[in-house]
């Protein structure tokens, strides 16, 4: 089976998003790129019923290479992002906080230093119908120099060099959105980080968790 490992990883990632409460029903989608091939989750298949052979393989032009099912309706979005970035994987979800915050802001300012993990202030792509070329273009622009973005009236998206990196950013993005939503609900002024503070946070995170080698 073409891209067997990647197709299995797509299924595992979909199930992970479901377990973490990041998707509802069959909402959301996952893809992995290897060279000029892309493995993408199928449209409308319950995650708990999805098998690796259900994952569709397409070329970077969108032409089907393997798989009998229809690919995710967001295939144009995935193709557009891959053409514009060096991402190795894309994960898209409909989690509550990120979806809700996308209804009321056009950008998440740096209210939490985790924002540096996404490249800075997190943009919200203007609304367009799901599966459309317009949505694909809007989200691709929102992801310019970023690894995550929100989608107005829709959900969130993260990209990464691997699918593990991409999906690992989704809960962090959801946390940033939840914190900002709660701060907004308080009605009090929201403290924002300066560019210098964000730069310091970026430097700090670059070395975070690095430990010396354990002795034998």
The first and second tokens of residue 28, run together, are 């959301």
| Catalytic entry in 4, 48, 70, 74 | 74
CA-wise closest residue to 121 among 151, 103, 145, 97: 145
CA-wise closest residue to 135 among 143, 126, 144: 126
Instruction: Classify the C-alpha dihedral 42-43-45-46 as positive or negative.
Output: positive
Does 53 qualify as catalytic in the annotation?
A: no
The C-alpha angle with vertex 155 and arms to 82 and 3, in degrees rounded to 5, equals 40
DSSP of 136-170? HHHHHHHTTT-SEEEETTTEEEEEESSHHHHHHHH
- In sequence order, the β-bridge partners of residue 30 are 91
Active site (catalytic) residues: 74
């Amino acid at each position: 089976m073409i891209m067997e490992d990647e197709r299995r990883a797509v299924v595992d990632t979909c199930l992970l998003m479901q377990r973490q409460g990041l998707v509802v029903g069959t909402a959301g989608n996952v893809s992995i790129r290897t060279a000029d091939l892309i493995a993408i989750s199928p449209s409308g298949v319950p995650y708990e019923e999805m098998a690796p052979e259900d994952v569709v393989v397409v070329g970077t032009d969108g032409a089907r290479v393997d798989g009998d099912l229809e690919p995710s309706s967001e295939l144009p979005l995935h193709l557009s992002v891959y053409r514009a970035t060096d991402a190795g994987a894309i994960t898209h979800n409909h989690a509550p906080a990120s979806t809700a915050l996308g209804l009321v802001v056009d950008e998440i300012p740096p209210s939490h230093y985790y924002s540096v993990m996404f490249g800075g202030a997190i943009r919200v792509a203007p609304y367009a119908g799901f599966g459309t070329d317009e949505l694909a273009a809007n989200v691709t622009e929102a992801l310019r120099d970023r690894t995550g973005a929100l989608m107005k009236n829709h959900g969130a998206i993260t990209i990464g060099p691997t699918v593990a990196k991409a999906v690992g950013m989704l809960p962090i993005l959801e946390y940033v959105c939840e914190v900002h939503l709660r701060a907004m609900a308080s009605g009090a002024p929201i403290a924002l980080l300066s560019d210098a503070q964000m730069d310091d946070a970026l430097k700090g995170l670059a070395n975070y968790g690095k430990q010396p080698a354990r002795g034998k």
